[in-house]
Every structure is written in structure tokens, then in C-alpha cells.
Homo-oligomer: A and B are copies of this chain.
Amino acid sequence: MTAPTLGNNVVTQVGLIVRDIESKARAWSEILGLPMPDIIITDIMDKAHTEYNGRPTPARAKLAFFHMGQLDVELIEPIDGPSTWKDQLDGHGESLHHIAFEIKGMDEKADILNSQGVPLIQRGDYDGGRYAYFDGAARLGTILELLENDD
């Protein structure tokens, strides 16, 4: 018998790193016939408390979300760095970056993943919640994101 470690096994987001979010979002909208989303920008460091590899970073990103059933496809254009977003764009170009799960109890869930060889690499806050990326490259083959919304 198995039970989902994260409390659920529902992928709520797939993240895609892009170089120019305006043109890419327009292409997604036009080619797939989806409403054009707003493009937002993550908060500044003082508000987002962004940390990468354990240190504060001024990195930000432009984001656009396409609602596609149970999940969003999230377009991410890195601004400055260092960040996992910029590392992937520099190393691999435009490419899929992560799958995300909505969870409750970020610290507890982070401890579980860290203890399994899937270490925290980046975290930050947004209005009403927080996110954390975990480097699953070695054990899982991809980055995981956990999202915790207050409500």
C-alpha cells in the first residue's frame, strides 16, 4: 500500500522556461486557441524573499499562466539571476523546467524531499503563499515545485 508523500499526487502546474515571454505567450494563445493571459512579474527580493542555493538573490521572472484542465502551463522568463530559471535557460535554452504540486505544510514536505536526496534549491514568497523548487535531477530526472497557498 502506498500513500502520496506530498499529500496528493495531482500535478497542478508544468513550468516552461522561455527567452521572450511576450512572443511565446502570443504563440501559445494563437496556435492552441487559448485566451491570452496577463503577464506578471515576481516581487522584488525584499518582498519575495527569494533564495537560491541558500542565499538571497535579486532574481525575478516574468510569468504567464495558461489554464489547461487541472493544471496550468506556466511560462517563465528569467530576469537577472542567479536562479534555477536562469541556469536552465543558460544551460539548455527554452525548455520544460518543472512539475508542481499544491501542498500543505511546506517545511515538513521539504524535509521529506531533502531526506530523499531531492534537495531544496530555490524558494520564495508571493501574495498569499510560497513556492519551493527541489532538485530532483539525480533521483527523479526533473525539478519538482511545491506550492503552498494560505487559505
Contact = CB atoms under 8 A, between A and B. Distances in A.
Interface of A: 2-6, 9-11, 14, 16-18, 24, 27-35, 66-71, 73, 75, 92, 94-99, 113, 116, 118, 136-137, 139-142
A28 B96 contact: no
* Number of copies of this kind of chain in the complex: 2
Contacts of A139: 24, 27, 31
A70 B14 CA distance: 13
Contact of A28 (B30, B73, B140): B140
Nearest to A20: B141
B24 A69 contact: no
B141 A17 contact: yes
B18 A95 contact: no
Contacts of A69: 9-11, 70-71
